[in-house]
């Protein structure tokens, strides 16, 4: 187990197969040369990355990909994270499609919601939630990823971010308030994105309005026009999705409410037995023993109960926006009250 947020290249090479490193190509001229201003910016970004690395190492939740460290003593910068052999959820949904039972799809929704609730309790806004950014762990759990340092690395790897025509924002997953000239990210913009994730889950990984241009989708969202909810979506979840897409952020549910709704949905549509869950057919994915699962559930229950007691008094006034709360955007504390998130032009979609 790595004890420090910063690791050397030699330490990285000693990691065994349970770790994976994600390489980010780095600008050699920026790293080794440049003027004083360039070096100052690089050093500032480096310090910021180290600070965020230490914070991210404290994130421990079964539905959040675990972060082990970052190697930045020489290019390329390497982020070391938990290996999730099942791949991303979007690919799994497309590949297995009709084989996935409704109860298993609700499990996906519930596990992602638990991961987001944890991040929000840590004052971390994800800012880029989508099925492509949810991974299937070695035990078949869905884990949220692609937040924090994956965005901050951009600040240390390039002098200037060049916007090319093919670069575009993930508009289909973005709340209307984040599509404004001055984007406003909050826990409730994550809730909007979560509604789109549920759309993907019950639509076999297909995104809403696949053939529409991004600018048309952005205009539709701002005008309150929403995609039709997939017909396979259970009624109670369809109703919840509609709430996540409310134009007024204060009318959207938080993840505590969402988890209650999904738990009730499981009462009507129970999850299939483990042997019938498609995630366990994936290479490298194995089931926990009943004893291991019980122990993990008991530990999680204790943590959840403790967190609920601490937050119950202030739940009604939970920060809805970065205008009133020092919430971390993609793991990074904003330097200004209104701010854009790191790496917002680098999305693949």
Q: Which residues are catalytic?
A: 128
Calpha distance 276→108 (Å, rounded)? 14
122 burial via Cβ count (<10 Å: 0-12, 13-18, 19+): middle
Cα 322 → chain centroid? 18
Output the CA torsion sign for 26, 31, 34, 40.
positive
Structure tokens given for 326: 């020092």
Using alpha carbons, select from 87, 92, 115 the residue that is nearest to residue 104: 92
Calpha distance 151→23 (Å, rounded)? 13
**Facing residues of 328 across strands?**
124
- Nearest 5°: phi and psi at 70? -140, 135
Give the containing element (helix H, strand E) for 239: helix 235-244
Number of Cβ atoms within 10 Å of the Cβ of 336? 7
Q: What is the C-alpha end-to-end distance of the chain, expressed in Å? A: 35
Strands (E) across the chain are located at 19-24, 67-71, 77-82, 124-125, 134-136, 142-144, 328-329
The position carrying tokens 């999904």 is: 262
């Amino acid at each position: 187990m790595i004890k420090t947020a910063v690791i050397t290249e030699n330490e990285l090479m000693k990691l065994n197969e349970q770790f994976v490193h994600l390489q980010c190509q780095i600008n050699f001229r920026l790293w080794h040369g440049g003027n004083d201003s360039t070096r100052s910016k690089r050093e500032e970004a480096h310090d910021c990355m180290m600070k965020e690395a230490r914070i991210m190492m404290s994130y421990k939740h079964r539905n959040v990909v675990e972060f082990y460290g970052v190697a930045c003593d020489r290019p390329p910068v390497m982020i070391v994270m938990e290996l999730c052999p099942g791949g991303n959820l979007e690919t799994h949904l497309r590949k297995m499609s009709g084989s996935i039972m409704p109860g298993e799809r609700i499990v996906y929704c519930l596990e992602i919601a638990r991961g987001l609730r944890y991040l929000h309790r840590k004052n971390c806004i994800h800012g880029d939630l989508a099925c492509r950014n949810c991974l299937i762990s070695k035990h078949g759990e869905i884990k949220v990823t692609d937040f924090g340092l994956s965005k901050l690395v951009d600040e240390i790897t390039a002098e200037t971010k060049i916007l090319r025509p093919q670069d575009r924002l993930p508009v289909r997953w973005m709340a209307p308030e984040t599509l404004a000239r001055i984007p406003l990210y909050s826990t409730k913009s994550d809730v909007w994105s979560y509604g789109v994730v549920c759309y993907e889950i019950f639509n076999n990984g297909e995104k809403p309005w696949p053939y529409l241009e991004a600018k048309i989708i952005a205009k539709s969202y701002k005008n309150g026009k929403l995609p039709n909810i997939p017909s396979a979506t259970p009624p109670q979840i369809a109703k919840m999705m509609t709430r996540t897409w409310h134009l007024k952020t204060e009318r959207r549910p938080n993840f505590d409410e969402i988890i209650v709704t999904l738990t009730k949905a499981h009462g009507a549509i129970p999850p299939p037995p483990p042997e019938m869950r498609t995630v366990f057919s994936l290479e490298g994915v194995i089931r926990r023993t009943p004893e291991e699962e019980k122990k993990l559930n008991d530990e999680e229950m204790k943590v959840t109960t403790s967190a609920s007691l601490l937050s119950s008094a202030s739940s009604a006034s939970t920060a809805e926006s970065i205008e009133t709360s020092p919430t971390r955007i993609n793991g990074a504390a904003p330097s200004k009250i209104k701010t854009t998130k790191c790496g917002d032009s680098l999305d693949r979609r």
